[in-house]
């Protein structure tokens, strides 16, 4: 019973986050919300697959999604720097 309640709450947080990503216009504000979605998915994987392989799958998903989020954030930062450089020229 407790596990299903936790899974339900994490699912609701994930759904709210997905809706918020589509409603947010700023790319910079979308990144933390995407990280929240990744946390939710990793937690749901770990809760749904109740074995050591489920934990490993959740960890691998979490690490790969964190790396991709960091790459996106770095790319957006570099694009902003390039835009500022173009404006100065």
Name the phi and psi angles at 24, rounded to 5: -80, 130
For residue 20, what pLDDT is reported? Answer: 93
Q: Is the alpha carbon torsion for 27, 28, 32, 38 positive or negative?
A: positive
Q: Is the alpha carbon torsion for 73, 30, 5, 53 positive or negative?
A: negative
Q: Which ranges in the chain belong to alpha helices (H)?
A: 2-23, 27-48, 52-88
- 37-89 pLDDT, tens digit per residue, is 888 888 888 888 888 888 888 888 888 888 877 787 788 778 777 767 667 76
Total-model pTM: 0.68
Q: With 80 as the cut, is the pLDDT of residue 3 above it?
A: no
């Amino acid at each position: 019973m407790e596990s299903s309640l936790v899974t339900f709450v994490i699912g609701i947080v994930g759904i709210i986050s997905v809706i918020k990503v589509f409603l947010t216009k700023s790319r910079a504000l979308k990144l933390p919300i995407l990280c929240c979605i990744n946390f939710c998915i990793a937690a749901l994987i770990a809760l749904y697959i109740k074995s050591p392989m489920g934990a490993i799958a959740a960890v691998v998903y979490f690490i790969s999604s964190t790396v991709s989020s960091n790459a996106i954030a770095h790319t957006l930062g570099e694009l902003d720097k390039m835009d500022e450089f173009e404006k100065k020229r």
